[in-house]
Amino acid sequence: MEQHFSKITEFRAELAAWFQDHGRLLPWRATRDPYRILVSELMLQQTQVATVIPYYHRWLKRFPTIHDLAKADESEVLHAWQGLGYYNRARNLHQCAKIIVSERNEKFPSRAEELLTLPGIGRYTAGAIASFAFDQPAPIVDANIERALSRILNLQEPVDQASGGRVLWDFAAGYVQSTHPRLLNSALMELGATICLPGKPLCLICPVRSFCATKDPESLPKRRERQPVEKKVENHYLALKEGRILLEQSRGRRWRGLWTLPVLAQNSESGARMEVNLPLLSLSFPITRYVVRLNIFFEEPPATLGCGQVWHGLELLDTVPMPSPHRRAVRRAMERIGSSAANG
Ligand code: SF4
């Protein structure tokens, strides 16, 4: 490892020169506005660049400044986030905007330590905002950098264990202690995203090949053994009345504030019905380490509404913030049962 630290100046120079010629022109790279960078970073957590780009543009049209976001309703924010999933990111973004506007007089924190005090901002995101918006020498290690550095350093420890992670963060911290931290962090990220790819990296065209210690890049990064994916079943129901659909505002952690099809409570009557009747439709979706099978049953409109339940006009459904699996389920169910049933 020592050998790599001793060549750090040359390593920075090679990587920065390559990035200036080959780096992608991503929309958030064309700005120093910390609000825009915050939006992009939260969207990019758990979502691919190509998916994020149209959302990023739409978001900034809807909430052009941090002030616009701070004064928006939560339901408007969740609606704008719809389709990106992991809605806590949207809530955290909204909370960050409120804190910066109301408690900091719209002054954005510029140092990673201050940024870390905001909701949803971890070590990586704090470093990304500090370096990309304020050119601070704050290290970043995301999945792309983790992969590239573990290969460059030939790191044999699991990167998701404290000691392995520390090696990468220490290297990233030394690497960025130089002029142009924004450029250096962007270059390292780009290397992982476009050259040092998962699976088979493009070593033949790698700008830092001469610094790379691994002889077996495909075996890196090493990780601890994964927990197996678990299966879950969630039963909900579809009830329609005079062109309206019954929805329930979720209070659970996963989708708090979003509208879902009502939960089919597991009592003896519904349990027996579920055993006898097939669901109107089923679909599966992944979430964290689960694969959820969502079963939708058709039910008569209930005589009284449960807690958080409201009838929504079908024609306005697109304006209601809903998690994607439930919106998909409603669309498919409506195709299946047709408009006459909906109006019945
Ligand atoms: S030489 Fe290959 S493994 Fe090493 S950093 Fe470059 S792309 Fe990654």
Instruction: Give me the CATH number covering residue 23.
Output: 1.10.340.30
Strands of the sheet with 281-287, listed across from one edge: 230-238, 290-298, 281-287
Same-domain status, 136 and 12: yes
**Pocket test residue of 145, 151, 155, 204 for ligand 1, highest count of atoms within 8 A of CB:** 151
pLDDT interval class at 342 (50, 70, 90)? low
Encode pLDDT of 137-194 as tens digits. 999 999 999 999 999 999 999 999 999 999 999 999 999 999 999 999 999 999 999 9
pTM of the model: 0.79
Q: How far is the CA of 186 from the centre of ligand 1 (A)?
A: 17
Residues of the domain holding 262: 232-343
In this structure, are 169 and 283 located in the same domain? no
Report CA(189)–ligand 1 centroid distance (Å).
Answer: 13
pLDDT at res. 276: 61
pLDDT for 277 equals 74
**Judgement on whether residues 132 and 15 belong to the same structural domain of the protein:** yes
Q: Which CATH number is 336's domain given?
A: 3.90.79.10
pLDDT averaged over every residue in the chain: 92
> Ligand 1, atom 2: nearest CA belongs to which residue?
203
Coil, helix or strand at residue 339: helix
**182 in the same domain as 269:** no
Query: Total structural domains in the chain?
Result: 2
pLDDT tens-digit series, residues 260-311: 999 998 655 655 556 667 899 999 999 888 999 999 999 999 999 999 999 9
pLDDT of 2 reads 45
Q: Is 41 a catalytic residue?
A: yes
Same domain for 283 and 164: no
Q: Which amino acid is at 26?
A: L
CA-CA distance, 138 to 147, in Å (whole number)?
19
Q: 45 and 106: one domain?
A: yes
Q: Are 7 and 170 spatial neighbours (Cβ–Cβ below 8 Å)?
A: no
- pLDDT of residue 135 exceeding 70, the answer is yes
The contacts of residue 188 (CB under 8 Å, 6+ apart) are 15, 140, 145, 148, 149, 172, 175
Kindly give, in sequence order, each residue whose CB lies less than 8 Å from that of residue 343, ignoring residues fewer than 6 positions away.
242, 243
User: Does the beta carbon of 206 sit less than 6 angstroms from any atom of ligand 1?
Assistant: yes
Backbone angles phi, psi at 102, to 5 degrees: -90, -30
Averaged over 208-236, what is the pLDDT? Answer: 94
